[in-house]
Amino acid sequence: MGRKLRHGILACTAATTVVLGAGIPAYADGPTATSPSVGQVTNPGTEPGPNDQLPETDADVVHSAPPAEPEETDLVEDPTPDPLPETDNAGGANGGVYCGPGTTSVYVPRTRGARYHYGVGPSNTNYNGTSRTARTTFTSEVTGEVGVSVSAGLKTSVNFLVAKSEVQWNVGFSVKMTAKVGNQISVDTPAHRSTHGKYGVYRLKTTGVSYLMYSNCKTSAQKMITSYIPIRVGWYIWED
């Protein structure tokens, strides 16, 4: 299935302000500007290790290419989990072992991958045709809500998947995040170069195993699930 995103367009007045002269960039992930954090991962397409620090913002990272698209093509935004069977298809007494009444949905996180930027609204671009560094300010044009996207076969709820992933990696995930209209970011554009900015939500790629546990402790076939979970709202900046 294709990706779907609900956009609520509140305004369509993009502002790209240019000021000549070098300066110190200002960064913003919300209505108030914040200082960039340490520990930046400069390439969102690079798989981080399990102990890598995730930055608070990517605004101070100027990339050389647009944000990478997720590899999977069967992702579903905010999916409804597969329904549990009406009967407990345990398939036998299993030696008398008992795991509990009825059928239980299970999700086990496996790997934490790279971060991907899901854009909300159009990209903004400014070309600096002067011989000096120019100051560029981008303003987000729309408000949009971005949730979890999951590949087919999830047996449990998205909320449960997110909760298990938070515990596994001690990362502050969200089931949904909202990128709002009017957010601004200012960056330096070198002479005769173009700076591009896209506002949206960063999501972390994860994988995990989903299956059903029956009352006699037998399980259904395990399905490897790929998910993209919102981690923060922010800008993705690139230059060419």
Is residue 204 in some structural domain? yes
Q: Does the structure show a pLDDT above 60 at 141?
A: yes
How far apart are alpha carbons 232 and 174 in whole angstroms? Answer: 8
How far apart are alpha carbons 78 and 130 in whole angstroms? Answer: 46
Q: Work out the end-to-end distance of the chain between its first and last CA atoms, rounded to an integer number of angstroms.
A: 33
Residue 112 CA from chain centroid, whole number: 12
Mean pLDDT of the chain: 74
pLDDT in tens, 75-87: 887 777 666 665 5
Is residue 43 in some structural domain? no
Q: Does the structure show a pLDDT above 70 at 2?
A: no
Q: Give the model's confidence band at 217: pLDDT under 50 very low, under 70 low, under 90 confident, else very high.
A: confident
Q: Over range 12-39, report the average pLDDT.
A: 32
How far apart are alpha carbons 155 and 220 in whole angstroms? Answer: 10
Is residue 90 in some structural domain? no
Is residue 207 in some structural domain? yes
Lowest mean pLDDT of 80-89, 106-115, 223-232, name the range.
80-89
Question: 158, 23, 15, 11: which is closest to 77 by C-alpha?
Answer: 158
How far apart are alpha carbons 67 and 53 in whole angstroms? Answer: 20
Range of the domain at 129: 6-32+58-83+97-239
Q: Does the structure show a pLDDT above 80 at 95?
A: no
Q: Give the model's confidence band at 31: pLDDT under 50 very low, under 70 low, under 90 confident, else very high.
A: very low
pLDDT value at position 187?
93
pLDDT in tens, 150-172: 998 898 999 999 999 999 999 89
Is residue 53 in some structural domain? no
Q: Over range 139-155, report the average pLDDT.
A: 92
Is residue 119 in some structural domain? yes
User: How many structural domains compose the chain?
Assistant: 1
Is residue 38 in some structural domain? no
Is residue 44 in some structural domain? no
pLDDT value at position 83?
66
